[in-house]
Amino acid sequence: MSREIIEIKSDRDIEKMRVSCQMAAETLVLVGERLRAGMTTEEINTLVHKDTVRRGAVPSPLNYHGFPKSVCTSINEVVCHGIPGPRRLLPGDIINVDVTTYYNGFHGDTSATFYVGAVSPQARLVTEVARRSLDLAIAVVRDGARIGDIGEVIQGYAEGEGCSVVRDFAGHGIGRRFHCAPQVAHYRLKKGEENPRLRAGMVFTIEPMINLGTWEVEVDPVDKWTARTRDRKLSAQFEHTLLVTQQGCEVLTRRSVPLANSETVDLLASVL
């Protein structure tokens, strides 16, 4: 993956990326609106599957390297790649829902962590650090910056808040393929590691997974997908798909409304 050429998208491809990314963003907004204590992750899967198909699109996760469902649902100590099933959401849970939509030849990928009812201060901390670490990373993306600037800002911020950064999973180039170059580490690169310059027209995800305890994860030996923190402490994640531009970047999966059950609307800002 790492020595592959990083594609520069044409204007035509970028327009198609905008469409699939906006579909993924809208489906994620719908998940936030419907999320309730008592619902199962299977019900989230059905919601995402139906909403994706209704758009004439395909849920990218379904059958991807054998993944059995249409969305990833990762609760509490699950870092990523949680498989929807009979587990019911309980008040106090945090859950990442990761939506990827394939439409007209292109994938769009976005995720968010939601609060189920009132959550512990710890759950709020890890979720807000994950949210902020993505926002800080987005702010350093521009033509001429380096891929390593992303991990630098995420690790610096998250560890300063007493959290850790998962190393086993990375952001990724995206387009006609779900995962391609570049690999986007969310931690500081070692000397000598490949650290390409970002160029306008590159499209990739940033998707930091932030843990309350150890950064180490283990993959479920039975289902071969579910990744959990080794110490079973909480983990949270947010993801956007970005287009690098001369001045900065375009967040292709940007939402036009705040996410219910995750983003708090600033009351004062909404009045002004």
Indicate the DSSP class of residue 40: B
- The reply on whether position 81 binds ligand MF3 by CB under 6 A is yes
Residues 6+ apart with CB under 8 A from 126: 94, 163, 210, 211, 212, 234, 235, 236
Q: Closer to ligand MF3 at the Cβ: 41 or 205?
A: 205
Q: Closer to ligand MF3 at the Cβ: 55 or 124?
A: 55
Which ranges of the chain would DSSP assign to H, the alpha helix?
11-34, 41-54, 121-140, 148-160, 267-271
- The reply on whether position 157 binds ligand MF3 by CB under 6 A is no
Indicate the DSSP class of residue 105: T
- Tell me which of 7, 77, 98, 152 binds Co ion, using CB under 5 A: 98
Contact status, residue 32 vs residue 262, Cβ threshold 8 Å? yes
- Name which of 91, 101, 80, 77 is nearest 28 in CA terms: 101
* Segment near ligand MF3 (CB under 6 A); pick from 34-42, 65-73, 183-191, 242-250: 65-73
Strands 240-244 vs 249-251: parallel, antiparallel or unpaired: antiparallel
- The reply on whether position 152 binds ligand MF3 by CB under 6 A is no
- The reply on whether position 167 binds ligand MF3 by CB under 6 A is no
Indicate the DSSP class of residue 199: -
Q: Closer to ligand MF3 at the Cβ: 223 or 266?
A: 223
What are residue 180's DSSP bridge partners?
173
- The reply on whether position 109 binds Co ion by CB under 5 A is yes
**Residue 191 Cβ vs Co ion, minimum distance, rounded to whole Å:** 27
**Residue 119 Cβ vs Co ion, minimum distance, rounded to whole Å:** 22
Residues 6+ apart with CB under 8 A from 121: none
Q: Closer to ligand MF3 at the Cβ: 175 or 269?
A: 175
Interaction site with ligand MF3 (CB under 6 A): 61, 64-65, 67, 72, 81, 98, 100, 109, 172, 205, 207, 239
